[in-house]
Amino acid sequence: MIKLHNRSKVHAKVDKRVVLPTLLNSLLSLTLFFLLVGSVLAEGKTTKSHGFNFFGELNYSKDFPHLNYVNKDAPKGGEISIWSMGTFDSMNPYSRKGRAGALASAPFESLLEGTADEVGSLYGLLAETIEYPEDQTWVIFNLRDEAKFSDGTPVTAYDVKYTFELFLEQGLASYKAILGQIVQEAEVLGPKKIKYSFTPDASKRDAIPIVGGLPVMSKAWFDATGARLDESRMEIAIGSGPYVLDEFEVNKRISYKRNEDYWGNELPLMKGRSNFDTIKIEYFADTSAALEGFKSGEYTMRIENSSKNWATAYDFPALDEGKVIKKTLPDGGIASGQAFVMNLRRSKFSDPKVREAIGLLYNFEWSNESLFYGQYARINSFWENSELAAEGMPTEGELALLKPLVNDLPKGILDEEAVMASVSGLRALDRKNLRLASKLLDEAGWLVGDDGLRRNSEGEVFTLEIIERSPAFDRVVLPYVDNLRAAGIDAKYERIDSAQFTDRKRNYDFDMLTTQHPMSLEPSSGLKQYFGSESSDVSVFNSAGVSNPAIDALIEHVISAENKAELKTSVKALDRALRSLRFWVPQWFNNTYRVAYWDMYEHPDEIPPFDLGYLDFWWYNSDKAEFLKSTGALR
DSSP string, 569-582: HHHHHHHHHHHHH-
User: Mind listing the pLDDT tens digit for each residue in 121-147?
Assistant: 999 999 999 999 999 999 999 999 999
Residue type, 435: R
* pLDDT score of 27: 33
Of the listed ranges 19-28, 83-92, 188-197, the least confidently predicted one is 19-28
User: Mind listing the pLDDT tens digit for each residue in 138-174?
Assistant: 999 999 999 999 999 999 999 999 999 999 999 988 7
Tell me the percentage of the chain whose pLDDT exceeds 70: 93
8 or 112: which leads in pLDDT: 112
* Mean pLDDT, residues 398-406 taken together: 98
* Mean pLDDT, residues 333-337 taken together: 92
Q: Integer distance in angstroms from the first to the last C-alpha of the chain? A: 27
* pLDDT score of 520: 92
* pLDDT score of 8: 33
Q: Write the Ramachandran bin of 508: left for phi over 0, alpha for psi from -120 to 50, otherwise beta.
A: left
* pLDDT score of 16: 34
40 or 325: which leads in pLDDT: 325
CA distance 487 to 466: 16
* Mean pLDDT, residues 288-309 taken together: 96
Quickly count: other Cβ atoms within 10 Å of residue 213's Cβ: 14
pLDDT band for 225, please (50, 70, 90 cuts).
Answer: very high
pLDDT band for 406, please (50, 70, 90 cuts).
Answer: very high
Asked if 103 contacts 4 with a C-beta cutoff of 8 angstroms, the reply is yes
CA distance 505 to 512: 10
Question: Dihedral, CA atoms, 596, 601, 605, 609, nearest 10 degrees?
Answer: -60
Is residue 12 pLDDT above 70, yes or no?
no
Asked if 288 contacts 471 with a C-beta cutoff of 8 angstroms, the reply is yes
Strands (E), 259-389: 278-284, 301-303, 324-330, 339-342, 377-378
Is residue 305 pLDDT above 60, yes or no?
yes
Residue type, 53: N
* pLDDT score of 2: 52
Classify each residue of 311-350 as buried b or exposed e, where b means 16 or more C-beta atoms within 10 Å of its C-beta. Answer: eeebeeebeeeebbeeeeeebbbbbbbbbbbbbbeeebbe
* Mean pLDDT, residues 419-439 taken together: 96
CA distance 483 to 462: 14
pLDDT band for 175, please (50, 70, 90 cuts).
Answer: confident
- pLDDT, averaged across the chain: 92
* Mean pLDDT, residues 252-269 taken together: 97
Question: In 111-238, which ranges are continuous DSSP H helix?
Answer: 157-170, 173-182, 204-212, 219-225
Question: In 376-430, which ranges are continuous DSSP H helix?
Answer: 396-402
* Mean pLDDT, residues 509-521 taken together: 96
* pLDDT score of 203: 86
Domains and CATH numbers, the chain: 22-58+108-217 (3.40.190.10), 339-589 (3.10.105.10)
User: Mind listing the pLDDT tens digit for each residue in 581-602?
Assistant: 999 999 999 999 999 999 999 9
* Mean pLDDT, residues 451-464 taken together: 97
Helix, strand, or coil here: 164? helix
Residue 306: exposure state from Cβ atoms within 10 A (0-12, 13-18, ≥19): buried
Tell me the percentage of the chain whose pLDDT exceeds 90: 86
Helix, strand, or coil here: 364? helix
Asked if 554 contacts 570 with a C-beta cutoff of 8 angstroms, the reply is yes
* pLDDT score of 208: 97
* Mean pLDDT, residues 33-49 taken together: 57
